[in-house]
Amino acid sequence: MGFIDPKTDFGFKRIFASPNSRPILKSLLNALIYDGQLRIQDLEILDPYQQPEIPDFKLSILDVKAQLDDGSTVIIEMQVAKVEAFMQRILYNTTKAYASQLGRGKYYWDLRPVIAVTITDFILFDDPEVDQSLPISRFSILNEETHALCTSQLRWIFVELPKFGKDLVDLEGLVDRWLFFLQRAGELQQAPPELTSDHDLQSALDIANESQLSPAELRFFEAELDRLRVMQGQIFSARDEGLAEGLAEGLAEGRAEGLAAGRAEGITLGAKQRELEIARELLKTLDPETVSRVTGLSIEQVQDLAQADDP
């Protein structure tokens, strides 16, 4: 038996949002947000994880959400595949979490900071001017000329796991240990001392140990892994089909303009049509929010599909 992969929704929620996960999540956020400094003394998990009784994929998968001891809200998301409008969705979720604080009887001065922590299993920033060796990027709202901080109310932290290339023997400090855990825990067959020397990482490995799963939970986890592989394959296939259709249309025109236009239109229309087909199929077993997250379609588009297909 090994360990469940924290890059899966099941694994991430079980490890970081279970009833005993508060110290573990606090340690992870100190590493990712504050570069290992112990700035967060306490937090409250706002959406505690509850495992469904059967693996029917009807569980509405939400980001792990926590409130820090200074009143700040942190939303944490793990994303294994890059989808369309990914950055727009991150910005929407952050600003939505910020605006949702202002309920009846609340005032602007009641608004507390929101920090969005996004962990990706793909390269998000591939600009050659950006240091590709840094797996963690932290952003705030700054003055474009002077880079002076405008406000600390909104912050974004992006963790690109493929940019982390250290092995166990090279780990230095809390940040490295958590990055290794997120990236490689699913490959481990036993708990390494380089991680277990830290109490919180030892606790995370204990929760992630597959031997601690019930038969139903293990079936759910294995089914999710299979589902992720299938969905990722469908998305890649849709993009390839769109490219092929675009090339065929452009070549048929026999002109350079037709080729360029065919490529652009074919890629867009072919991929879009295929994504809609995939979304229709996934709606048979998944909720609209999860389908939106996987395919990159907006939640409104997915809901329209669900309503249109509803007999």
Question: In angstroms, rounded to a whole number, what is the distance separating the alpha carbons of residues 98 and 73?
Answer: 8
Question: In angstroms, rounded to a whole number, what is the distance separating the alpha carbons of residues 154 and 110?
Answer: 14
Neighbours of 126 (CB within 10 A): 9
CB 306 within 8 A of CB 280: no
First to last CA, the chain: 45
Residue 162: closest CA among 139, 134, 141: 134
Q: Which H or E run includes 222?
A: helix 215-253
Query: For the purposes of burial, counting CB atoms within 10 Å of the CB of 51, is it exposed (0-12), middle (13-18) or buried (19 or more)?
Result: middle
Helix (H, G, I), strand (E, B) or coil at 202: helix
Question: In angstroms, rounded to a whole number, what is the distance separating the alpha carbons of residues 117 and 64?
Answer: 10
Q: How do strand 43-45 and strand 64-68 relate by DSSP bridges?
A: antiparallel
What Rg do the C-alpha atoms of the chain give, in angstroms? 21
Question: In angstroms, rounded to a whole number, what is the distance separating the alpha carbons of residues 247 and 259?
Answer: 7
Q: What is the pLDDT along the chain (311 residues), one digit of tens a residue?
A: 699 999 988 889 889 998 889 999 999 999 999 999 999 999 999 876 655 444 444 333 447 899 999 999 999 999 887 777 889 989 999 999 999 999 888 899 999 999 999 999 989 988 776 666 789 999 999 999 999 999 999 999 999 999 999 999 999 999 999 999 999 999 999 999 999 999 999 999 999 998 887 777 767 667 666 666 666 565 555 555 655 565 556 555 554 554 454 444 444 455 566 667 777 777 766 777 777 766 677 788 878 888 876 65
pTM (2 d.p.)? 0.72
CB 222 within 8 A of CB 5: no
- Helices 215-253 and 256-282 cross at an angle (nearest 10°) of 160
Torsion of CA 227, 229, 232, 236, to 10 degrees: -140
Residue 182: closest CA among 3, 2, 1, 50: 3
